[in-house]
Amino acid sequence: MAAKARVYSYLRFSDPKQAAGGSIDRQIEYAARWAANHEMELDATLSLRDEGLSAYHQRHVKQGALGVFLRAIEDGQVPAGSVLVVEGLDRLSRAEPLQAQTQLAQIVNAGITVVTASDGREYNRDRLKAQPMDLVYSLLVMIRAHEESDTKSKRVKAAIRRQCQGWIAGTWRAPIRVGKDPHWVRAAEGGGFELIPERAVAVRLVVEMFKQGHGAVRTVRELTERGLKISDTGRTAASHIYKLLANRMLIGEKSVEIDGETYQLERYYPSLLTAAEFADLRYLAEQRGRRKGKGEIPGVVTGLGITYCGYCGAAIVAQNLMGRKRQSDGRPHAGHRRLHCVTYSTGAGCKVSGSCSVVPVERALMLYCSDQINLSRLLEGNSSTTSTSAQLAHSRQRAADLEAQIQRFTV
């Protein structure tokens, strides 16, 4: 038995504040009256409403209810003869006219009638065939809707560009309403932003654990155990940890891109890290990435290339048993970091089995080194080394920025 045709009502607002008016009630009443006059049933169970989704950028199709409805049409789930009531054609689309008309044609060609509540017009195959000028009228409406949105978009972009330029020049210090702000700040009473203390603690913990060599999964677990959250959306995904560590908002910088041009707004937010600390963090991330996933514990002994099997002469490699239970601070137990012959583990020659803990080997190596250099000074540093480290961090960041600029000019 074929499904019964129904009347559907679609509502869209680019700004949720528009929902405060009476247009929603008026359209629902119109759809109910239209359905009653044509002896059809209004489907009140399907919520076709997109609030805060732009028809100019087609977000209501990509992310919203209209996109779901269009896919249902493609899948044959919307019966032919059904009716879609909208306030106006601009509610369906404000994209370029050809794209908007293609979208209308998709609906109409599926045997569905589009009714506009603002003027009572109906668009379906039979009516457009009998009155082709209605198709021309629909195109004119779409052209006007697109031009209105395009003009508004250009005005908004121009205003944001002026504000960004003013921020860089020091003549504008009001908020720039574009993009999302980081989860660890909130609007301050006197203007600008202030840190949310508990969120700032969480972010600093993420940075510190990364510097200590912990992975994202361990970091998320630690945040959960301490009851800390980076955002109000719940538990932080492990994949977001690395994105956070690369976010220049950590140093208070907001990035705004307008038509391919990027503005870096320094000191827009209160910073959690200094520029030198962030540069060091990025350098550490790059170096860790070059290890190509060899584990979260660097091989101090094996990485030096000075250890060899006493039986066959092949290289000694490390094995970190990360799946075992760890200590309370997240570090693996001493016996879970092992050394063994590479050829035995691959069955390529050595006949001597077994492994040993890396800890006594490391301690012996460090004991020898302590007789050669002042390790405490090397590890603790002093004012001169701190200054040099900061300069080195700035130089690394500057080199990375220059390399990025070169890439933009040469691509």
Confidence band, pLDDT 50/70/90 cuts, at residue 348: low
Longest dimension (CA), the chain: 98
Please give the average per-residue pLDDT across 189-203, as a whole number. 92
At 137-149, the pLDDT tens digits run: 999 999 999 999 8
Question: 9 forms bridges with which residues in the sheet?
Answer: 85
Class of CATH domain 174-292: alpha beta
The 10s digit of each residue's pLDDT in 87-131 is 889 888 888 999 999 999 999 999 999 999 988 999 999 999 999
* Strands 337-341 and 185-187, bridge-based pairing: unpaired
Q: Where are the domains of the chain?
A: 6-148, 174-292, 302-372, 376-411
Phi/psi at 111 (5° precision): 85, 20
Rounded to the nearest 10 degrees, what angle do helices 275-289 and 383-410 cross at?
70
Residue 88 CB-half CA count within 13 A: 14
Task: Please give the share of the chain, as a percent, with pLDDT higher than 70.
Answer: 78
Residue 104, pLDDT score: 94
Looking at residue 378, its pLDDT comes to: 46
More confident residue, 353 or 330: 353
**What is the structure's pLDDT at 67?**
84
The pairing of strands 337-341 and 356-357 is: antiparallel
pLDDT at 174: 92
Helix (H), strand (E) at residue 165? helix 133-169
Q: Which of 74-83, 318-327, 336-345, 389-398 has the highest average model confidence (pLDDT)?
A: 74-83
| pLDDT, mean over the chain | 81
pTM (2 d.p.): 0.57
Environment class of 151 (CB within 10 Å of its CB; exposed 0-12, middle 13-18, buried 19+): exposed
- Judged against a pLDDT cut of 90, whether residue 283 lies above it is answered with no
3.90.1150.10, 3.30.1360.180, 3.40.50.1220, 3.40.50.1390: which CATH number matches 6-148? 3.40.50.1390
